[in-house]
Amino acid sequence: MSEKRLEELRQQIDELNLEILRLINERAEIVNEIGKIKEKQGVNRYDPLRERHMLDLLKKHNKGPLNQMTVDYIFKTIFKTALKQLEADTKKELLVSRKKKPEDTIIEINGKKIGAGEPTFIFGPCSVESYEQTAQVAASIKAKGLKFIRGGAYKPRTSPYDFQGLGLEGLKILKRVSEEYGLAVVTEIVTPGHIEEALDYVDVIQIGARNMQNFELLKAVGETDKPVLLKRGLAATIDEFILAAEYIMSRGNENIMLCERGIRTYERATRNTLDISAVPILKQETHLPVFVDVTHSTGRRDLLLPCAKAAIAIGADGVMAEVHPDPSVALSDSQQQMDLQQFDEFYEELLKFMKQYEYKA
């Protein structure tokens, strides 16, 4: 008799479990509808006052045997799960997300396909200081068969008294050098007001770390047809980084490259802390090419090569580094730029390393 009763009770439990499952899923559908309404209204999906109201209502009607602490725990878990579901749905809807576009984005610039499986390299001086300085670096880049030169014409610096760049004159130097050496220009734009004058001189617009959340700038470059290299902010989470890229793509520009350049932590052994794990995460979460800037992430010449190897080994689509004919007299970041001989040695060692992975530069 007791065995029969036990089976009946178990059957009741199974039926209740199924009913709870149905109700939880029904609740989730309603929460999704509420989330869509809130999104249109532009309000936060999480409402702590509403959560408190629901918990108070449950407390009022709780007749036991579960104590209120247990009930609160169960329903807070349900609330949290629903919120996470909303966040997951939002990620699915992002234009930059891998779920939205499963295949990799491949961007062709100056005859080089970025994101197609072979690493792309972007080298050049931190700042454009003169034609002669930039041309020397360009000649070394061209001799290696590479297709890009980077260089700062506008320099957002921590101190207002540091060298701020040559501005338009720097862009003209980059343009002249690019035409003479057959290189595509990658340079930073720091304000929407500079975009129009820069378009004739640049091939790739770089958004620097300090401007990753300059939303007006992101929207403005999103309305151009120039490829964009977006650097991760100094203290930005990966979600914030991805949403910054979404700002650009939401305005119509789909040619976006992400760049991990190190984040600020308590560690002082390097200029920043290279978050190498960000590369596979960004590759999983988005369909965009991912670069690693080994210069700004480390701030140390002795770490450029091992970090470049690590970037390639973990699946980065490209590597950036800074080169100067004479770093000791550079007007910015002199301690972290390679000279031309160090550049030759760096690239030669990198090629040897890539042969192990059957990469071609």
Contact status, residue 78 vs residue 24, Cβ threshold 8 Å: yes
Distance CA 222, CA 109 (A): 17
Question: Which H/E stretch holds residue 257?
Answer: strand 256-260
- Enter the tokens of residue 361: 């530069």
Which ranges of the chain have pLDDT less than 50? none
The topology (CATH level 3) of 107-357 is: TIM Barrel (3.20.20)
Total count of residues recorded for the chain: 361
- The CATH architecture assigned to 1-93 reads Up-down Bundle (1.20)
48 preceded by cis ω (within 30°)? no
Q: What is the pLDDT of residue 1?
A: 64
- Enter the tokens of residue 5: 């009763």
How much is the pTM?
0.79
Domain layout of the chain by residue ranges: 1-93, 107-357
Contact status, residue 255 vs residue 228, Cβ threshold 8 Å: yes
> Which residues, 6+ apart, have CB-to-CB distance to 66 below 8 Å?
74
Q: What is the pLDDT of residue 332?
A: 84
Bridge-based pairing state of the strands 148-150 and 290-293? unpaired
Q: Do domains 1-93 and 107-357 have the same CATH topology?
A: no
Q: What is the pLDDT of residue 293?
A: 98
pLDDT tens digit sequence for 196-218: 999 999 999 999 999 999 999 99
Distance CA 286, CA 320 (A): 20
Q: What is the pLDDT of residue 91?
A: 61
Of 164, 133, 167, 173, nearest in space to 153 by CA = 167
Distance CA 37, CA 134 (A): 54
Of 241, 246, 327, nearest in space to 291 by CA = 241
